[in-house]
Amino acid sequence: MTYCVAMRLDAGLVFLSDSRTNAGVDQVGTFRKMFIFENPGDRMIVLMSAGNLSISQSVRQIIADYKSPAGKSIWTATSMVEVAQIVGDAVRAVHERDAKALKNFNIDFNVSLILGGQIGGERCRMFQIYSAGNFIESQRESPYFQIGEAKYGKPIIDRIINPGTGLDEAAKCALISMDSTLRSNISVGLPLDLLIYKADSLSVSHFVTIDEKNQYFKMIHDTWGQQLKSVFDGIVDPVWDVAVTAQSEPIRVSAPQALRTAVAASPLQAVAQDGEQRQLS
């Protein structure tokens, strides 16, 4: 499994990937999932991948070597959407080559990619590319993409990230999102690759590989868990009688009393009937 997240903000781009791959829990490996194509002053492009490792490695190899009949490559494309098309074409080339053989072994052709970056005077752009080689682009209303094990880490991003979020704050949010994912799914693992790109800088602004010794990530891991627990403790427990407290009205209590009366009045079969009516109403 994998977890990668990228954010496109007014201030620039944030990319974060884990590095665990596995073929069953008895075969776990470490492979980096973030690839940087950088020509400082001209372009800064990041590609992150999830899915079958042989497919994503093949895609990357094809991209690195790619030249269109007209001589266009990832290094000469004049816009990010051209790069997305090159990546999509590479996915299709690998599909053409490998999909049938994989199917003979009941292996799905499964790869998903996040591509982001900036070329020359164009704005920062970010794409999610599917197994079919088609892709979607991030908009202001959807400022982040996730691939791989996305769900555990999604709620915190939904609550924090908007296009105005600063780069460091977004990096912090991505790391908390990753921390929740690491905790819930052992097939996602350290080290992490974190890359920050300031809009219009046309080169990597910050890049760091985070392992278990990284003090900042350890601090986030410890602090977030403790603080969450203390926020949880600070919320009042539900109140089950009709007294109204200052902070909250009690939960409305219903049904059971009526159910119990019905049960007392009639034999067992009636309980099932009553229960059934109550569920479907």
Window 226-255: residues binding its own copies (CB under 8 A): 227-229, 231-232, 234-240, 247-255
Give the DSSP per-residue string, 188-235.
Answer: S-S-EEEEEEETT--S-SEEEEE-TT-HHHHHHHHHHHHHHHHHHHHS
The reply to whether omega before 191 is within 30° of 0 (cis) is: yes
- Per rule CB under 8 A, count of chain residues that contact its own copies: 83
The 3-state DSSP class for residue 125 equals strand
**Least Å distance between CB 272 and its own copies?**
4
Show the CA angle centred on residue 118, arms to residues 74 and 109, nearest 5°: 55
Contacting residue, 134, 162, 183, 200, with its own copies by CB under 8 A: 183
Residues 46-85, mask of contacts with its own copies (x by CB under 8 A): --------------x---x----------x----------
Report if residue 265 touches its own copies, rule: CB under 8 A: no
Among 113-121, 126-134, 135-143, 263-271, which window interacts with its own copies (CB under 8 A)?
A: 263-271
**Least Å distance between CB 67 and its own copies?**
11
Report if residue 186 touches its own copies, rule: CB under 8 A: no
Q: Which is nearer to its own copies, 101 or 281 (CB)?
A: 281
Report if residue 100 touches its own copies, rule: CB under 8 A: no
**Least Å distance between CB 208 and its own copies?**
5
Report if residue 163 touches its own copies, rule: CB under 8 A: no
Cα separation, 253 vs 261, whole angstroms = 15
**Least Å distance between CB 76 and its own copies?**
9
Contacting residue, 34, 50, 80, 111, with its own copies by CB under 8 A: 34
Report if residue 225 touches its own copies, rule: CB under 8 A: yes
Q: Which is nearer to its own copies, 28 or 64 (CB)?
A: 64
Per the structure block, which two tokens stand in for 247?
A: 């902070």
- Radius of gyration over alpha carbons of the chain, in Å? 25
Contact status, residue 43 vs residue 118, Cβ threshold 8 Å: yes
**Least Å distance between CB 126 and its own copies?**
19
Report if residue 109 touches its own copies, rule: CB under 8 A: no
